[in-house]
Structure 1
């Protein structure tokens, strides 16, 4: 018996992994069903997807439904039904669990799986194989069934689910990253979130299984892992044990964690800093009263102190913010932006409130005047404290932050630029938002822009912002900072073409063609860039008052221990610029009137560092 499980991802990405369906496949393996995993993407043609699914003539097809793919999945299911009238169509996932009757009504589905899916799906496979009735399976809702719906009990021991990675149900070699589930459930009850609905508490996979999977990832060359654990550090002892395992077993893999600030201590911050990782922290709002209204507590002083531990350790972190929470205003959202950005997050992820079905917030939304979309993505349109116009302004502020701060990698200099203009972060972003409307489409998003375009937008806007009398003298320092961090980030993300090493051709260097390595950035600055970097926190007004604009030339490149910045004399810089992989290096050096010994010595250094390569 053939069954196809469909995952419809938002877009190709390191997180587009069919992990949930792989869990189902593994748990149902002993039923004898031939289960195939199929990946599609939102935006794929429904007719083409249905044709693909129908080709293998499966007996049943299941869809994983989320808020962002519900409509697309149901459209594919309708087309499959037209082609295969007798196939069993079903769905599960968070969107089904939140709104089972809404998903079933008017759809082409025969049934839905509500809640945790492994046990209901395995029973479904067994019943289908034996041509047995499907009524009465706990966790499965059938329209018009005579037997009342019974929820399925969640698995007490998660280790009974075979590991998709260890058992080979998922070939992570096909994907640029992987999802790694460490737990299920949530220990908190935020009114806007569905994670803890239906049951309370957290169930966790064993440390023994985690260690085995970790060794498997390291051996297989996995590059990045997105950890699925609503609050990775709630069990502090366990979190520290896992971080020590990562440091020992998989130090070369990049990990993404979701953490809560209140469980961060100095030791945990230091452990995060000792591995390659980024942290996501759900701030949501900096207004204690607003957060209390949705079941969260918040102490600003404690939050600042905990985040300071991360900054002191050098750990990379970002925040989530939501605009439109009950009781919040546009002014309140702007204050939250100011609070968040003052703490130097690496990035901000900003979302409009979504009033998700099945949550306490959805249950009282009408009573408190939340006007929201009735269908996915359930976005708030307005409320008694934030108008539709305010929501539009907040959206544009969020876009401005996405583009200028997060995509623009501005963390190291943003607050200092704001301070130099004697304004606030939210006022600065508001100005950028208004300026952006004059040069880009009103519906622009950061995903529409490449890094170079974002960098140019930053430079153009800063030229405008610092163009007033009394500010113009600050602009060269600001642009040096913007340019340096843009090229630094580019070098960081570009692996060396070949490892640096010793050179044995010292006597022939001037006679052979050389070329600049593709990972090297050659940049001209207005000031001596090393003096700016040595100053620490870039106080722009002080730098403009004390530094002399002598100009400098630098090579920025990935080295053995991270990104290196080498300040160069101009003749050496021009030599690197002109190396073309065709002409002998000595001929180019002679044109620049460089002495042979000087050129040889410099090129030997550049080869050893991986700045230049043999053609």
Structure 2
């Protein structure tokens, strides 16, 4: 039998680990092909590629982002390969198999499928976790980790070697989650099963010999076992420095030893922590059974941020007992942490979760199609949802992409409610004609700033982004005479010559808190320019090499 293992990834850079576990667990009596697509591929292209493979059986890996699209692919494939057997698996179908068991689908496997999938391929009887049109067994399976460790490594497959440096490598050191957050599907499996350290350390040794450069750990809570996570981190500290590692953590339970270890590491890009904050409202956290020490969490995150460790933090708007005013406070407190990335999400009412069972209790109305985002609740109106979406847009475009982070921080320090300011920016960004460029975003921010200091900081920050003269975001009235006077100051300092004016670009700026002129000298070497600060009285203030990114030490 010819078996095709496939999925629609969100992006090419992502790799599906579940399919690779199925592949290494394969019954070698069958010819098995692993082929991945993305949700952005054209439907016809996907179908034609599958038909060309001409499998007898197809296993689709289904997630929240590809479930409905997978059904469309399956339907088209069945039209051309009428006898093909199609089975679905994955978290998207495990808790709502009735919605996915269409006429085009032969079966659905619930839970972990490394064993049950191949039993299905071999047409065995009485398979746990299998649902078909004539058979229902909802005893969702969990695979013995000891068995998985006997298989070939799913991380080192020959067909993955050539693009190890082009795609994320997803690694799991454990399965299950110790927490019972009502909105999260991970809460449905509280049985923590760990891969042995011997297995993991041997894997790390082998990975270090490959071209991999980004490893993301799939553990729902990497630091659930403090001693174990510390031992793993110590091993990764010694991993080659051009590789970065990403972990999901509970920030309040990070051990001091792990924090100290990470902070002592000189390569700050090596570790990236994803911390689920979700809310600062204690009643909200209690309502969704998320128990965390907020003060300890803030303290630990502050330590990491001050050490320049990369931190990504999540919020969820629309959770029970948090109205818009409360969420504004939550956003304010997250902003104050100054993490590298702030993900502002809207509650998704995921199938199978405890919160789905309580939706009527909180008056929650949610979209019935993936990603099941809430439309409103008894205290969170649909208008509130739309406001949060706009704030999320501004946060992502301006803060997370480091477009004008220092300007935003100035606004945060000088604005009563930063949410309201980001809402204004989000509305303006949302109205931009697509595709828009960075100078359009800066112009939006510039026109939204009411005071001169904020605008000058933005002008300073704008020129960090370009190696060649950019489009101006605001016109100035610098005539030839003024430009010559500014240049003359640097000539007297012995820094430039008269010929340099042909490379010069002039604007207003700020230096150590005072308004001044800034002159940028561009070059033909595709390097960032040198910047010279000259006072309004034509005295030399200082020079900044934009390649060094000194930021506030020159501006404040």
Tell me which interval the TM-score lies in, with the shorter structure as reference length. 0.7 to 0.9
Contact 1:524/1:554 (<8 A) preserved: no
Instruction: For 1:205-284, list aligned pairs within 5 A.
Output: 205-273=195-263, 274=265, 275=267, 276-284=270-278
1:477 aligns with 2:457: yes
Structure 1 regions of 5+ residues with no counterpart? Answer: 128-132, 489-520, 533-542, 571-615
Distance 1:556 1:374, change over 3 A: farther
SS in 1 for 2:185: coil
1:399 aligns with 2:388: no
For 1:23 and 1:74, the matched residues in 2 are separated by 23
Contact 1:114/1:139 (<8 A) preserved: yes
What whole-Å deviation, never above 9, does each CA across 1:513-556 have from its counterpart, x for those lacking one?
xxxxxxxx99867458xxx5xxxxxxxxxx43xx4625354789
Aligned position for 1:196: 187
Contact 2:129/2:137 (<8 A) preserved: no
Structure 2 regions of 5+ residues with no counterpart? Answer: 468-502, 535-556
Aligned position for 1:80: 77
Q: In the alignment, which of 19, 27, 39 is matched to residue 21 of structure 1?
A: 19
What whole-Å deviation, never above 9, does each CA across 1:17-43 have from its counterpart, x for those lacking one?
121101101012x44221111111114
Contact 1:555/1:565 (<8 A) preserved: yes
For 2:386 and 2:167, the matched residues in 1 are separated by 35
SS in 2 for 1:225: strand
For 1:186 and 1:359, the matched residues in 2 are separated by 14
Instruction: For 1:220-369, list aligned pairs within 5 A.
Output: 220-273=210-263, 274=265, 275=267, 276-369=270-363
What whole-Å deviation, never above 9, does each CA across 1:285-333 have from its counterpart, x for those lacking one?
1111111111102443222211111123221102111111122212222
For 1:178 and 1:522, the matched residues in 2 are separated by 45
Aligned position for 2:382: 388
Instruction: For 1:144-159, list aligned pairs within 5 A.
Output: 144-145=134-135, 148-157=137-146, 158-159=148-149
Q: How far off its partner does 1:412 sit?
A: 4.3
Instruction: For 1:503-522, list aligned pairs within 5 A.
Output: none
Aligned position for 1:379: 373
What whole-Å deviation, never above 9, does each CA across 1:448-479 have from its counterpart, x for those lacking one?
65xxx23x24431343233x4xx225522342
Aligned position for 1:10: 10
1:430 aligns with 2:423: yes
Contact 1:264/1:306 (<8 A) preserved: yes
Q: How far off its partner does 1:11 sit?
A: 2.6
SS in 2 for 1:377: coil
Q: In the alignment, which of 21, 34, 54 is matched to residue 57 of structure 1?
A: 54
Contact 2:407/2:454 (<8 A) preserved: no
Contact 1:115/1:139 (<8 A) preserved: yes
Aligned position for 1:108: 104
Aligned position for 1:94: 91
Between 62-71 and 304-313, report the one with greater CA deviation. 304-313
Distance 1:292 1:231, change over 3 A: same
Distance 1:307 1:96, change over 3 A: same
Contact 1:480/1:525 (<8 A) preserved: no
Q: How far off its partner does 1:59 sit?
A: 1.3
Q: How far off its partner does 1:396 sit?
A: 1.1
Contact 2:398/2:405 (<8 A) preserved: no
Aligned position for 2:518: 551
SS in 2 for 1:241: helix
Contact 2:130/2:137 (<8 A) preserved: no
Aligned position for 1:459: 442
Contact 1:269/1:315 (<8 A) preserved: no
Aligned position for 2:485: none
Q: How far off its partner does 1:135 sit?
A: 3.4
Aligned position for 1:494: none
Contact 2:391/2:423 (<8 A) preserved: yes
Distance 1:136 1:173, change over 3 A: same
SS in 2 for 1:186: coil
SS in 2 for 1:403: helix
Contact 1:179/1:225 (<8 A) preserved: yes
Distance 1:457 1:408, change over 3 A: farther
Distance 1:557 1:325, change over 3 A: farther
Q: How far off its partner does 1:153 sit?
A: 4.3
Contact 2:252/2:292 (<8 A) preserved: no
Contact 2:252/2:294 (<8 A) preserved: no
Contact 1:90/1:110 (<8 A) preserved: yes
Q: How far off its partner does 1:95 sit?
A: 0.8
Contact 2:217/2:247 (<8 A) preserved: yes
Contact 2:312/2:340 (<8 A) preserved: yes
Distance 1:87 1:412, change over 3 A: same
For 2:205 and 2:367, the matched residues in 1 are separated by 45
Distance 1:261 1:84, change over 3 A: same
Q: How far off its partner does 1:4 sit?
A: 0.2
SS in 2 for 1:72: helix
SS in 2 for 1:220: coil
Aligned position for 2:538: none
Distance 1:424 1:391, change over 3 A: same
SS in 2 for 1:319: strand
For 2:461 and 2:44, the matched residues in 1 are separated by 50
TM-score w.r.t. length of structure 2: 0.81
- Pairwise CA RMSD of aligned residues? 3.0
Instruction: For 1:487-566, list aligned pairs within 5 A.
Output: 526=508, 543-544=512-513, 547=514, 549-553=516-520
Contact 2:116/2:129 (<8 A) preserved: yes
1:118 aligns with 2:114: yes
Contact 1:97/1:114 (<8 A) preserved: yes
SS in 1 for 2:461: helix
